[in-house]
Amino acid sequence: MNSSENFAPRLQSRRISGIVFGAACFLATLTGVFFLLILLGSVIVAATSRYTADGSPKPSISISQLPGEVSRLTTKFSSSQAPRAGFKAGIVGSLWLLVLVLLLAIPVGVGAAVYLEEFASPGRIRDLIQLNISNLAGVPSIVYGLLGLSLFVRAFGFKSIGLGETLWAGGLTLSLLVLPVVVIATREALRSVPPSLRQAALALGATKWQVVRDHVLPSAVPGVLTGTILAVSRAIGETAPLLMVGAAGAIFRLPKGPSSLYTALPVEIYNYAKLPNQSFRSIAAGGILILLAMLLTMNSVAIVIRNRYRVPSR
């Protein structure tokens, strides 16, 4: 019996709707790339524009002047005169913050995630903690700034134990900010370690700690580092919490240690950008390019780590 009369295949229109859907998704993909290119283009134009003292445009700088411009922006402290202004203090301050956040947030965040994922018995308390951590990840960064101000900078009014407006206060505040993200990323990485690996180790008479130390954590390292570095690189771009915890606007000394006063790159960019003089706009744009370069470098490091340590899955 021929059953084809029971079907209306409409092959043509099915095929076309597939193409249309694919094209729509492709356009959606382009949106992100498109706006990133627009952003980069406008920032580069802004960074290379030059103005006379009264604010009228001059010809923008030429390619041959670029290396000089870059070295000026990276080696000069901030200044009220545009041609002498740079981001040296901010770059060094941001690198300090980066190191502090990595040192503070990774051990605590990974520890919390390992506890929740490997040791805590499932139940209401674990679910509650988990919910709280997910919610913390959604708290606006300015709120962390306020927390850092009252907790770390001022110690709730106990001046003698407050950290003041130092790198410690900034680093601790940013660490709190990224901590939930580190916990979540680490838990994801731990969860992707196959249960068969844990079972194999436990069946040999290993304790939980031996399993975690020798198998689960090593297998999770790529995921943990990738997630963590991405989280930290976001934190380095944060401005609002650092404004709250007192990253200085203009500072002319490099920090000597984590107890020094400091400023950070995004804070300096913000300060230059609000000045009325047109010339500082291009300084700010230059700072943005430096910041982007830092962030992209960190993201590439994350990608390299992920590829290098990828465990063969078979």
Give 193 or 230: the residue with its C-beta nearer to other proteins. 193
Q: Which two tokens stand for residue 157?
A: 């009014």
The b-or-e profile of 168-192 (16+ CB within 10 A means b, else e) is bbbbbbbbbbbbbbbbbbbbebbee
Q: Please select the residue that binds other proteins; options are 203, 257, 276, 308, rule is CB under 8 A.
A: 203
Residues 6+ apart with CB under 8 A from 136: 179, 180
Q: Please select the residue that binds other proteins; options are 196, 256, 257, 308, rule is CB under 8 A.
A: 196
Q: Please select the residue that binds other proteins; options are 139, 200, 250, 303, rule is CB under 8 A.
A: 200
Give 4 or 121: the residue with its C-beta nearer to other proteins. 121
205 near other proteins, judged by CB under 8 A: yes
Q: What's the chain's Rg over C-alpha atoms?
A: 25
214 near other proteins, judged by CB under 8 A: yes
Spatial distance between the Cα atoms of 263 and 94, rounded to a whole number of angstroms: 8
Applying CB under 8 A, the site for other proteins has a residue count of 22
Q: Please select the residue that binds other proteins; options are 70, 136, 202, 292, rule is CB under 8 A.
A: 202
- Residue of 26, 94, 74, 86 whose CA lies nearest to 233: 94
Contact 142, 244 (CB under 8 A): yes
204 near other proteins, judged by CB under 8 A: yes
207 near other proteins, judged by CB under 8 A: yes
End-to-end C-alpha distance for the chain, whole angstroms: 47
Strand, helix or coil for residue 166: strand
199 near other proteins, judged by CB under 8 A: yes
Least separation in angstroms between CB 182 and other proteins: 24
Q: What is the x/- site pattern for other proteins, positions 120-139, by CB under 8 A? A: -xx-----------------
List of residues contacting other proteins (CB under 8 A): 121-122, 194, 196-197, 199-207, 210, 214-215, 218-219, 311-312, 314
